[in-house]
Structure 1
């Protein structure tokens, strides 16, 4: 059995196990990464090909240790890891400040009817997700949505699911939003400003906003029956503006750093990590929090996500370096050829379907090189295909409650309120939502980047 088949089998089994046992996805991914490194140690030059300087050395020590050294120095994108860790620290403190919840509840209270209030909540949720991630946005905005539903006399299930879905659409809109966007930036060389304007054209942020508008329009229609409902919206009080100021400093710094092309490799990651640590220091000192409360905030930074990301990088690197991507390019080219629209639709649709069940991080890490290589092979804009991949994976994660951690978080928060929003109910809303947002934003992407 060739090593290519072995690695492909490990990757497929890992994706299946992650989809079935989402609560243990970190264990499965790290287990797969460890297996890859063990194989690379006992069979040198099989997965990660040895460079000439290592081959020239006497003895097997350097050859057998190369898999570990290469994985932790070159395969893992430490800049993306640090970006995610810092962003999660800051997002936990931002949730504590209640600024976003205050803005969302204030807009909802000022709306003339329940349907308009719902759209206000969704828009704020989407904007928060675009900068601090979908999990943080769900934690911040779902309590607002539940409080609104109690005042309006409607079941909270569909609105809470809608918050998670609209957050998923925006989850890769900026560099600081998620592991997916950080991973994409590391692979493509995108800087913070490139997510807004790239090569003289509107970039992925604008594409996500088109999807968000389409999604809000969809939910406006869905909730239109609630237009005359009585509303009693309780405005959330702000605890402090300081975390938002710290967040603004982070965004400004990332924007300025975009103009320095020769910066240190992990500079943006280190900067965001520093900002995250500053926010925790503010939380400890000014809010007079105990060590136990700080520990609770740190636990909410999703350390498992960071470990999961490390395993994903190693697994995706193995898939790439054994040549599976080249084989995939050949398979797709046999029936898609160099017809851009065919490849574009395939990437978008497959990303939608796979991301409904498989974690976005694994899927993006494995397929991203394929999208870029195929685009270059048929002389298309790489962004046309890589954006299609990102867009499909973001929107597709809204189809089922298994599609993202934000969906699971929203479902758990509903259960805590005694509300059970079933799998079938989620599908009933998630499928048409995904179709509408994918069609509108996909057409916009094609129009701009074709």
Structure 2
């Protein structure tokens, strides 16, 4: 490797240590690392801003921005308060039952949408539920993020790495349902049990708070019915477009931005003086101003992603990740079972260290070559499922392992509930170890014993 490759490794390692130890703000560490990558020549304007494999993943950035705009407007309708009261009443205020409801909703929604969108939608509900019931927010957010990564593993659109794998391996939506979804159902059941073991000491039951919330009417939480109807209609169209991705051939980021800008424009029209004079809404027009809505966008989270993508892209550009991946593929050889096991566990480990999106983008061509060398049969496709399971579930291991983790922790920090790197990771490592350990015999039994 060149001196720039070694320098890129040093810069990335230093930035990662700063992010993990939280010696400085993680956004500062990521952007500082990106600046150093430019200074040492490991990244350039072309590779950072225009190259898909070595630069900022703009589809992720604009997907997040569009969904953040939608959530910012929805928050002003009172729908999150409605859902918070509804879920708390269904669980009769019992903390673990509340967590189970939110975890299951998150996992199912992540399979139908994608994990980042789901986290953006479910986090505001969680804050309100915990506030109403006097519960600690952190365990719920951590549980939901991990549920989103597990649930998103089930479908082609549930986790961004799956989309990359599907495109490279020419796999269909139904392929993921058949090969991934059955085990994901089991993983969610196991995860619910893990939630009880990990967080049970943090649950507390406040009879007075429960009594007060049971007396509330969900409908009273809605502040602006007209805006809610318009917003939910636009959101429904956005979600429908997400699920029809393979038919429409429109990127999720484009759909999200169209939806975000449309809902933002609709909110401005609804809040205009002419319209407001003919309405009976208890929502102040000031709360729908453009400045107010844009303040709710997680700009720091977007900046962190940009810095992280540039740093990881620099490792790709200088050949570091390619060298590691090629060495791994050489070590695998012709042993399909051994290759799938190594790929599964290596993907879990590496996806915990770098974001799983650039990791999968790098590994997908290598796995494609391995599959073709093995005859491109149904059995050789086990390598695709090993890569998907490893990358998706390995993303749970650390606070920066998956996009949903970074987004959720950013939202929590802005809401005053800071989750440290190690607080997330101490639970994430347990969940990743358990889930990958379950996937291991599944791949062996399904593709080698029962094949």
Q: Please, what TM-score do these two structures have when normalized by structure 2? A: 0.69
Structural mapping, 1:121-200, within 5 Å: 121-127=102-108, 131=113, 132-148=117-133, 150=134, 158-159=139-140, 161-170=142-151, 181-182=159-160, 185=163, 189=167, 196-198=173-175
Q: Separation in 1 of the partners of 2:40 and 2:399?
A: 36
List per-residue Cα deviations over 1:256-312 (Å, max 9, x = no partner). Answer: 342255x6xxx5422321111112123333256338853243233222333333344
Match of 2:275 in 1: none
**1:284 is matched with which residue: 242, 249, 268?**
268
Give the deviation of 1:155 after TM superposition. 6.2
Match of 2:390 in 1: 389
Structural mapping, 1:207-246, within 5 Å: 208-219=184-195, 231-232=210-211, 233-234=213-214, 236=218, 237-239=221-223, 240-246=228-234
Conserved? CA contact 1:196–1:204, under 8 Å? no
List per-residue Cα deviations over 1:14-58 (Å, max 9, x = no partner). Answer: 332332338733343334334444444xxxxxx68xxxxxxxxxx
Q: Separation in 2 of the partners of 1:79 and 1:164?
A: 20
Conserved? CA contact 1:83–1:272, under 8 Å? yes
Conserved? CA contact 1:116–1:227, under 8 Å? no
Give the deviation of 1:412 after TM superposition. 7.1
Match of 1:72 in 2: 49
Give the deviation of 1:144 after TM superposition. 0.9
Conserved? CA contact 1:128–1:137, under 8 Å? no
Q: Separation in 1 of the partners of 2:357 and 2:205?
A: 43
Match of 1:373 in 2: 366
Task: Tell me: CA distance 1:6–1:229, structure 2 relative to 1, closer, same or farther (3 Å).
Answer: closer
Q: Separation in 2 of the partners of 1:190 and 1:91?
A: 32
Conserved? CA contact 1:87–1:276, under 8 Å? yes
Structural mapping, 1:22-421, within 5 Å: 24-40=25-41, 67-75=44-52, 76=55, 77-99=57-79, 102-103=82-83, 105-111=85-91, 114=94, 115-127=96-108, 131=113, 132-148=117-133, 150=134, 158-159=139-140, 161-170=142-151, 181-182=159-160, 185=163, 189=167, 196-198=173-175, 201-202=177-178, 208-219=184-195, 231-232=210-211, 233-234=213-214, 236=218, 237-239=221-223, 240-260=228-248, 267-287=251-271, 289-290=285-286, 293-332=289-328, 337-346=333-342, 348-349=344-345, 358=353, 361=355, 364-366=357-359, 368-370=361-363, 372-374=365-367, 376-377=369-370, 379=374, 380-381=380-381, 382-397=383-398, 404-407=406-409, 409-410=411-412
Q: Separation in 1 of the partners of 2:323 and 2:267?
A: 51
**Structure 2 gap segments, 5+ residues each:** 272-283, 375-379
Q: Separation in 2 of the partners of 1:449 and 1:92?
A: 45
Conserved? CA contact 1:92–1:136, under 8 Å? no
List per-residue Cα deviations over 1:329-356 (Å, max 9, x = no partner). Answer: 3543576545455555555555656666
* RMSD, matched Cα: 4.6
Q: Please, what TM-score do these two structures have when normalized by structure 1? A: 0.70
Task: Tell me: CA distance 1:283–1:141, structure 2 relative to 1, closer, same or farther (3 Å).
Answer: farther
Give the deviation of 1:13 after TM superposition. 2.6
Q: Separation in 2 of the partners of 1:70 and 1:29?
A: 17
Conserved? CA contact 2:5–2:320, under 8 Å? yes
Match of 1:51 in 2: none
Match of 2:377 in 1: none
Task: Tell me: CA distance 1:145–1:136, structure 2 relative to 1, closer, same or farther (3 Å).
Answer: same
Task: Tell me: CA distance 1:185–1:430, structure 2 relative to 1, closer, same or farther (3 Å).
Answer: closer
